[in-house]
Amino acid sequence: MTEKTKILIVDDKAENLFALQQILGSLKIEIIEASNGNEALTALLYHSFALVILDVHMPGMNGFEVAEFMRGQQETKKIPIIFLSAIFASEHHQLKGYESGAIDFITKPFPPKVLINKVKIFVEFYEQKQILQKEIEERKKSEIALRESEERYRSLVEATTSIIWSADSSGGFVVPQPSWEKYTGQPWEEYKDFGWTKKIHSDDIERLLQGWEKACQEISVYESHGRLWNSRLEDWRDFQVKAVPIMETDGSLREWVGIIEDITEQKQLEAQLLQSQKMDALGTLAGGIAHEFNNILAAMQGYGELLLVELPEGSIEKDYAANIYQAGKRAQDLVLQILTFSRMDLGQRSVYDIPPLIKEAIKMMKATIPSSIQIEQDIDSHCSPILANPTQINQVLLNLCTNAFHAMGKEGGVLRITLKEKKYEAEEVFLSALKAGSYLNLTVSDTGCGMSAKVQEKIFDPFFTTKEVGEGTGLGMSVVHSIVEQHEGLITVDSQLASDQYPGRTTIQIYFPVVKAEKQEGKQEESILAKERNHILVLDESPMLTKFYQKALKRMGYEVTTFNECADALEEFQRNTDKYDLVFMEYSMKLLDGNNLVPYLLKTRPNVPIILAVEHTDAIMEIKRNTKGVRAYAIKPLEIKDLLPLIQKILK
């Protein structure tokens, strides 16, 4: 409910106050009474009045004194005052009333309508003034809120890494855009109107402008993406842009407001995720292919090895057998690379000094590379050891250098290999995948043709190659990447494609975490000669392999019984428990794998020696966690010279 407008009437006679109440009672106002000057001043402290009607002749403080006091106070000096008097009605008193601050002087008696009309005027004036004052206050609040909103918006724009921009109805910049200048380094004179297009990549500008023109014609939301120059990073950055039209009240287009967001890191993460998923899928496929290859290669190499032993020296047949055996070895190397890529073959790792290995590998390469290629090396011999598989480290260096040789071609160039130990503190780690600590930094750089950005994106994809058909498998760099990851390291690539202006170059850096531990010395191999005629139970799903194992082991003096079905082998072993001195079996079988079969064998005869044939070394760690009692493990495909010493060692 709206509060009524108040007026104050002051008179020392009650009958006069009553009479004024009666006269003014028809007005929609609230009348406050005071019988003397002090009561009037007290009322002025607690109420806001549109008008004060003041009697002149009062005991104590008269009307003139009350008026003078009111005019001396900031809160009351603008309140209108009307004097009423019957005693002090002379011209002198009227002038004194006006001098003390009154705006009117009415002498008694007076017609009631005169007072009513005068009060109505001052009440209406007061009410209009209050309305206006309220509007002014609301406007001030709105202006303050607007300024605060603009300040928050300005702070937000300055704090965000995105580009907030506005353009006129045609799409041109007509006012400076601070966030655009900060990101691109382009001054206002250059990017105003459509000058901003100069900072868009040339391959994207036509598509972006076509979409922008369509949005301007249809007055619809604009969304697109492309590459924008970042002056601070001095590089092209991926971005996405969205703009919305701002309309006038009459429906016409006033301006465009939009935001440009840098999505480079987001796209990189998406690419890494896609690459990881692709590598996992191909790894699973590669692992399955390698499993089938291993069985074929084991038999092919095994029989080839037997032929080399049995055929006479100098015969054409022995030469054929040697070629078959060597072809099998090359195929075995390819399978090992596939397994390494699929992350199924970690290889046995130990604490190892890398510098001698790197130096020896460089020495061997110098004897095989063209004279047009110069090898420079800077190998720190005092580097700390790392936890590594030396064969795989050698494979990494060989693959990198082979790629470098091909990149330099017949023209030759410089191949530089460095190995340094570097320590990175937490604040110095500039590669997100590295943690603070010490690393061996292996760097292989060449002055070859270099690689384009598109080639660099696919360099670690399996079976991707830029070489001619028949010159490469496309597994080299994917194997390197897998080995580095398995060694908990990091690999980076920096390359510049050769052009008329710049020579080509490629630098690949690998970081291996160092360990502080003593080196493990290798052990001498045991003799491979069979000393007793022991009986071996052989279990493998491949009939081709069981036939080979039977021939090879019998030739070395062992009795052999072979099985291709788990149920048949278990039944025979349970029936003739003491007949067999050793069980040699494949771990991965379709119906019953080693995890399930080994416990049955050991339950039947707890001390029976068991050798499990596995296809990759990381399976050994899993088997050891889940299966107890296995004496030894053999990695397929097996060669006789590796299998026989293992059996002899177990049966010793």
Least confident of 172-176, 307-311, 363-367, 419-423: 363-367
Predicted pLDDT at 344: 46
| Max mean pLDDT range (143-152, 169-178, 360-369) | 169-178
Predicted pLDDT at 560: 94
Distance, CA of 622 to CA of 216 (rounded, Å): 63
Asked whether 588 and 539 are in contact (CB, 8 A), the reply is: no
| pLDDT at residue 149 greater than cutoff 60 | yes
Higher pLDDT, 408 or 617: 408
Distance, CA of 219 to CA of 299 (rounded, Å): 73
Other C-beta atoms closer than 10 Å to the C-beta of 179 total 17
Predicted pLDDT at 470: 47
Please return the burial class of 319, using the count of CB atoms within 10 Å of its CB with bins 0-12, 13-18 and 19+: exposed
**Residue 109 preceded by cis peptide, ω within 30:** yes
Residue 334, strand partner residues:
none
Taking the chain, what is the end-to-end CA distance rounded to the nearest angstrom? 109
Asked whether 581 and 535 are in contact (CB, 8 A), the reply is: yes
* 161-208: pLDDT as tens digits: 688 888 888 888 888 888 888 889 999 988 888 888 899 999 999 999
Asked whether 8 and 52 are in contact (CB, 8 A), the reply is: yes
Could you identify the residue written with the tokens 């058909």? 469
Greatest extent of the chain over all pairs of C-alpha atoms, in Å: 158
**Confidence band of 160 (pLDDT split at 50, 70, 90):** low
* 292-347: pLDDT as tens digits: 777 777 778 788 888 888 888 888 988 888 888 887 777 776 676 666 555 544 45
| pLDDT at residue 526 greater than cutoff 50 | no
Higher pLDDT, 647 or 367: 647
Q: Where are the alpha helices (DSSP H) in 526-636?
A: 543-555, 566-575, 594-604, 618-626
Asked whether 351 and 515 are in contact (CB, 8 A), the reply is: yes
Distance, CA of 198 to CA of 183 (rounded, Å): 14
Average pLDDT (531-548) is: 86
Predicted pLDDT at 282: 66
Q: With H, G, I as helix, E, B as strand and everything else as coil, classify residue 634.
A: strand
| pLDDT at residue 519 greater than cutoff 50 | no
**Confidence band of 522 (pLDDT split at 50, 70, 90):** very low
Distance, CA of 644 to CA of 179 (rounded, Å): 74
Neighbour order of strands in the sheet with 235-247? 163-168, 253-262, 235-247, 222-230
Distance, CA of 203 to CA of 103 (rounded, Å): 81
Higher pLDDT, 276 or 535: 535
As given in the structure block, the two tokens for residue 284 are 């699973």
Q: With H, G, I as helix, E, B as strand and everything else as coil, classify residue 49.
A: coil
Question: DSSP assignment, residue 630?
Answer: -
Distance, CA of 209 to CA of 292 (rounded, Å): 55
Least confident of 29-33, 77-81, 131-135, 628-632: 628-632
Higher pLDDT, 291 or 110: 110
Q: Which amino acid is at 324?
A: I
Q: Which of 649, 646, 644, 633 is nearest to 557 (CA)?
A: 644
Q: Are strands 559-563 and 535-539 parallel, antiparallel or unpaired?
A: parallel
| pLDDT at residue 525 greater than cutoff 50 | no
| pLDDT at residue 538 greater than cutoff 60 | yes
DSSP assignments along 174-234, one per residue: -S--HHHHHHH---HHHHTBTGGGGGB-HHHHHHHHHHHHHHHHHT--EEEEEEEEETTTT
Distance, CA of 412 to CA of 58 (rounded, Å): 121
Distance, CA of 82 to CA of 62 (rounded, Å): 14
Least confident of 85-89, 147-151, 463-467: 463-467
Predicted pLDDT at 289: 67
Say what the alpha-carbon torsion angle 540, 544, 545, 551 is, to the nearest 10 degrees.
120
Q: Which of 169, 244, 170, 165 is nearest to 199 (CA)?
A: 165
* 241-293: pLDDT as tens digits: 999 999 988 888 889 999 999 998 888 788 777 766 776 776 666 666 666 77
**What radius of gyration, in Å, describes the C-alpha atoms of the chain?**
49
Distance, CA of 639 to CA of 635 (rounded, Å): 10
Residues with Cβ < 8 Å from 188, sequence gap 6 or more?
176, 181
Asked whether 226 and 239 are in contact (CB, 8 A), the reply is: yes
Please return the burial class of 149, using the count of CB atoms within 10 Å of its CB with bins 0-12, 13-18 and 19+: exposed
Distance, CA of 598 to CA of 588 (rounded, Å): 12
| Mean pLDDT score across all residues of the chain | 83
Q: Where are the alpha helices (DSSP H) in 51-201?
A: 63-71, 91-99, 112-159, 178-184, 188-191
As given in the structure block, the two tokens for residue 241 are 């842009």
| pLDDT at residue 622 greater than cutoff 70 | no
Predicted pLDDT at 527: 42
**Confidence band of 529 (pLDDT split at 50, 70, 90):** very low
Say what the alpha-carbon torsion angle 191, 193, 198, 200 is, to the nearest 10 degrees.
100
Please return the burial class of 131, using the count of CB atoms within 10 Å of its CB with bins 0-12, 13-18 and 19+: exposed
Higher pLDDT, 56 or 155: 56
Other C-beta atoms closer than 10 Å to the C-beta of 71 total 16
Predicted pLDDT at 454: 79
Predicted pLDDT at 467: 62
Q: With H, G, I as helix, E, B as strand and everything else as coil, classify residue 264.
A: helix
Average pLDDT (398-407) is: 87
Least confident of 299-303, 377-381, 493-497, 624-628: 624-628
**Residue 637 preceded by cis peptide, ω within 30:** yes
**Confidence band of 456 (pLDDT split at 50, 70, 90):** confident
| pLDDT at residue 37 greater than cutoff 80 | yes
Q: Which of 388, 372, 402, 358 is nearest to 488 (CA)?
A: 388
